[in-house]
A and B are shown apart, each in its own frame.
Chain A
């Protein structure tokens, strides 16, 4: 009897995720290309209790299948994760799909992990695209290992899908606006030092710029925290601001990897747990600013940060690879799996390189009358200067090295020629240039990483 009937299509498993507020994500899906049945959806994640939803499960499945269509022609290298982005006006949705290969039931399959949002959220989503994609890429790396080992991939994927849903939910209400009013910032104070100590402000902005505009502001008072968050956001582009978050007055937010600036509240005991892994996985080094005790600490520059990040990632993946059973692959177990995995808790360091650019800006901007647009215009002059210097530096290096064909050996000349002899100034401009040309730090400093660290060690001992 049963042989006469076609096999029933198994129902697609679904996880409903509880989120605090309205989540702009309609669904997330995991689909794969079945060698017999074609594209199949394996799992759907959807926010729970969102009331009216644009898509029913059938439509989600249809869309998820669509993401794999055409991938039969895929000729990517093994392990590559390709990103596809759809704006389907007919369906009123945007879909972000990460296509990768993985082993399911002994067969190599093409898989797609996708998130679906309403088309109306396009401009909200675009600034966050890189954050989402980078985080999903790493969870896919872990997922591929699980697939290879025959473990359940869904729980692994859930460990990142759910936080991304939460991130998008939180950003919907608490992201920094595209345009920050200078009146909401420290730069509107009558005099320097009214809101915070002059040196603290200088250090905070300088370090913030040295770490590519990536900072976390920690404190007990949400207003104070948010004021500094908005002040730092003045130095970002509008798109970067939309990728920054104010602190929640109830302290509900945890650190989220990939945001540019984020405000975080300490708990009732006045302590704050710093998630080492998440901070390390941020695309840029981060500045840590504590507005309660006026301290500013920063992570090492981009090339060192990337090195640590990659090393940590490799260790994490290796631990997963070595996991004996599915029970061993929880994050805690992974961390304890081996000795070399011990995180370095001193990754935040004092801001050692002082600059003249920010210093003179801070000194000068307070000379202008507050409450008007003067300071805002002056700020735009400053940002224009930084942008131009960064582009000049980039072009200088390109000219010197014939676009990377030759090794860059003339850092000293660069400093003199471009008036960047002060180390802090150079760091700021290099950080800005890094955002324009990823990998610039590694290219410029290359193997001198060790030397630079030793030099720093020596300098600090004096």
Chain B
């Protein structure tokens, strides 16, 4: 039935693109165009014939005096509406009463009845005008209006019909909020108005009563005037009764409607006020009158009742209340705010809005990796947004040594338990020595001892607040920690030595033994032996260190010392015996940090690090982007522009990006602050785990940086100064040059390890024809997504990380290498994937500590090359 392709049938003599010469004379008005778009049209032109430049919101009213009329637009700039005829469109959308239900005197009833009509929603369009609208009809109450009702509508007007239908539910929900806000204010205003009217009527009644009494007394009999007065009085009495009934009705507004989720209060912070108002209104009528009275005491005390004449002003003589008067100013402004938000949230192209919604939903499923390259707002803050896309986050399982699968969440919970325990233990022994001091001493000692004794290819250390490699050991092996944590006293002692807060001795060797450098589990260390450096958080460091000046290299090179090597082996075996113990280090500190603390940490980093050097606070306090504020996707997109310029200007962009992606700190050195900051801005989009506030980037530093900074900052802008301070900066550069890459923007050189591969070539092709920074950012984002997926796969492919037995680390390493090769990664790309994988593991363990900087420091000694333009 379905045969092989036969294309000849399609390639008839009629030329594609030319007018189809239909032999049948079907009039064009009954036909369908052969092409989606007319001759000079394209997928973007369908909106071009609209007479307005962008979407806007229109509020219209069906005025009983002048008919349908536009009231206001959002945005209010008249340029937005252009030549679009608002009057005509108002007429079109308000010409039909879609809420047709009875208001006024119902048959058989003597008193007017208020109907609490529900809002109607209509989508309609004017294909000729190229305008389509979501129209939200609502009715407000006005004592002066015919039937006490004033019909209004709020319309979202767009040239894109598809946008309105696709976003219908979201739009409907947002406009319902705005409508409910207006209606709440209106009910309050209406009740107040009724109350005033009642006062007037009561005052009128008393005046009329007095006059009638007076006339009766004067004439002594029922004169015509007296009879008229009596009728008038009776009318007033009736009116009072009617108004009281109306007040009772408005104050007994059905509570179910208020509780409906669709009718959410306008703004959270104002919700209390609103509900208070409504609660007041929903009391029984007698009480309600009193409550309203109480509530508006001040106003009432100033209100003087007026005498109401028998005949009110004619319909066209009176001035109708404005929308603001109908709803009270507060509620009116809240509604406008809400509508402004609506306008902003639906602004722009549908394709972008739609993909953002889909992506956001997808990102919520990827919390385990989203922190790497995504703006946090996309996967955390906005997950509560209801875009009718499921956002359930499946738990990620992990393996323990026995290969049994466990849920990671339960795993982290058990980690927590251990943390608490460890914290309790450590708090018993006050820290007596400065951890940062120790760090510096040990590092310098190491440097002195082993300088130049390492092969350039051999990697040495992994520094981290929590060692990911160690985590990995815990990750796959340590699920029985709860058992292990009750190990023998000997093991406890050993592990205790590794704890950063247990030591009181300060000699370098002891320091090493004390666990600031602990052996990594080689099974989990990707192709390298090494140590774990546990860096205390700055706060703790500050407490402990006072103003100690750091002047020593890390202890990395102690690796070469056979004595210490022995020690290392011992420690290693201890660690293997008790894998859980090595996990706790920095979490002792970080677990107490809240997100706010993390933010403050960024802002006050100068304080916490000031002991280290003579750096100025402004330098170190400088936040990468907007001081202390959340880094947004918009900022990242803007950075895309600089990034595009960067890759076009610098042929060695690949290498720079490689450094950032593989976790090697890149220092941008320059004398001009603007240039350096621009470059930092350009490169920040490639920095993994950038942090909510861009914590891992230091855009401008005019003092020497420290080793600890390399753990925190992965991208540093550094001032080149020709002064004593400048020389110390250069000194620090030289000192740590093996751990960092240096981009000299004055001399246009880059010193870093080489990169070979295709992934970054796609990301940073200087011949790219991409024209805009935002498009380039999207391109980078998609490649980073690809990379993240690879890292996820590498991390969670359990079988490649599991040793056959405890001594089978070699095969694990080779399995990992082969696995990465299978994924098509070169050696350098493997490093990137491995680094990202380590970050993921760290995040899995510490993920629940929101806002805590989860960066760690790992590097290997690879030969660096100098690249020039």
Contact = CB atoms under 8 A, between A and B. Distances in A.
| A is bound by B | yes
A262 B774 CA distance: 38
B42 A346 contact: no
Contact of A76 (B98, B126, B783): B126
B43 interface: yes
Nearest to B788: A381
Contact of B785 (A300, A377, A381): A381
Nearest to B125: A82
A422 interface: no
A456 B91 contact: no
B645 interface: no
Interface string A317-354: 11101100000000000000010100011101110000
B789 A239 contact: no
Q: Main SS of the interface on chain B? A: loop
B1 A90 contact: no
Interface stretch (A29-37, A194-202, A248-256, A308-316): A308-316
Contacts of B775: 392, 395-396, 399
A442 to B, nearest CB: 6
A87 B120 contact: yes
Q: Main SS of the interface on chain A? A: helix
A148 interface: yes
Contacts of B783: 419
A403 interface: yes
Nearest to A133: B165
Nearest to A127: B388
A436 interface: yes
Contact of B394 (A178, A377, A460): A377
A201 B42 CA distance: 36
A80 B31 CA distance: 11
A222 to B, nearest CB: 21
Contacts of A145: 30
B397 interface: yes
Interface string A171-210: 0000000110000000000000000000000000000000
Contacts of B33: 310
A438 interface: yes
Contacts of A267: none
Contacts of A288: 2
B299 interface: no
Contacts of A141: 30-32
Interface string A47-91: 000000000000000000010011001011111101111111110
A12 interface: no
Contact of A318 (B24, B96, B793): B24
Interface stretch (B4-12, B188-196, B482-490, B555-563): B4-12
B36 A442 contact: yes
Contact of A314 (B26, B350, B786, B788): B26
A89 B20 contact: no
A456 B351 CA distance: 31
A382 B28 CA distance: 45
Nearest to A321: B26
Interface string B353-395: 0110011011101101100000000000000000011101011
Contacts of B91: 73
B44 interface: yes
B365 A390 contact: no
B769 interface: yes
A442 B35 contact: yes
A381 B789 contact: yes
A440 B36 CA distance: 10
A136 to B, nearest CB: 14
Nearest to A396: B775
Interface in B107-132: 117-129
Contact of A84 (B20, B42, B120, B124): B124
Contacts of B92: 70, 73
Given A82-B125, A385-B782, A378 B792 contact: yes
B769 A417 contact: yes
Interface stretch (A150-158, A226-234, A367-375): A367-375
Nearest to A348: B2
Given A73-B91, A372-B405, A395-B774, A344 B37 contact: no
Given A380-B362, A400-B771, A89 B119 contact: yes
Given A66-B96, A350-B5, A391 B778 contact: yes
Interface residues on chain B, size class? 35 or more
A388 B782 contact: yes
B479 to A, nearest CB: 15
Given A178-B390, A348-B2, A364 B823 contact: yes
Nearest to B29: A79
B355 A314 contact: no
Interface string A275-316: 000000000000010000001010010001011101101100
Interface in A260-279: 271-272, 274
B51 interface: no
A457 interface: yes
Nearest to A458: B7
Contacts of A122: 169
A400 B351 CA distance: 17
B11 A450 contact: yes
B5 A78 contact: no
Contacts of A80: 127-128
B358 A387 contact: yes
A449 B17 CA distance: 9
A123 B170 CA distance: 12
Interface centre among B28, B35, B99, B161 (most CB of A within 10 A): B35
B315 interface: no
A197 to B, nearest CB: 19
A90 B100 contact: yes
A18 interface: no
B779 A392 contact: yes
Given A86-B121, A368-B793, A372-B405, A388 B359 contact: yes
B614 interface: no
Interface in A229-247: 237-239
Interface in B79-113: 91-92, 95-96, 98-101
Given A80-B127, A126-B169, A404 B42 contact: yes
Given A76-B126, A86-B98, A148-B30, A450 B36 contact: no
A384 B9 contact: no
Given A70-B96, A297-B2, A387-B358, A377 B365 contact: yes
B5 A349 contact: yes
Given A310-B32, A384-B366, A439-B37, 17 more contacts: A84-B124, A85-B165, A85-B168, A89-B120, A141-B30, A148-B30, A271-B1, A297-B2, A314-B22, A377-B366, A381-B369, A388-B782, A436-B354, A440-B43, A442-B43, A443-B37, A447-B16
23 contacts: A73-B91, A75-B129, A76-B128, A83-B125, A141-B30, A141-B32, A144-B30, A300-B10, A321-B24, A322-B24, A346-B9, A349-B5, A350-B4, A360-B824, A378-B793, A384-B363, A387-B359, A392-B775, A392-B779, A436-B350, A442-B36, A447-B16, A450-B11
Q: Name the 9 nearest CB pairs between A and B, nearest first.
A: A373-B394, A404-B42, A318-B24, A349-B5, A89-B118, A388-B782, A381-B789, A436-B351, A346-B6
Interface of B: 1-11, 15-17, 20, 22-37, 42-45, 91-92, 95-96, 98-101, 117-129, 161-162, 165, 168-169, 172, 350-352, 354-355, 358-359, 361-363, 365-366, 368-369, 388-390, 392, 394-397, 405, 762, 765, 768-772, 774-775, 778-779, 781-783, 785-786, 788-789, 792-793, 796-798, 823-824
Interface of A: 66, 69-70, 73, 75-80, 82-90, 122-123, 126, 129-130, 138, 141, 144-145, 148, 178-179, 237-239, 271-272, 274, 288, 295, 297, 300, 304, 306-308, 310-311, 313-314, 317-319, 321-322, 338, 340, 344-346, 348-350, 360, 364, 367-369, 372-374, 376-378, 380-385, 387-392, 394-396, 398-401, 403-404, 410, 413-414, 416-419, 436-440, 442-443, 446-447, 449-450, 453-454, 456-457, 460
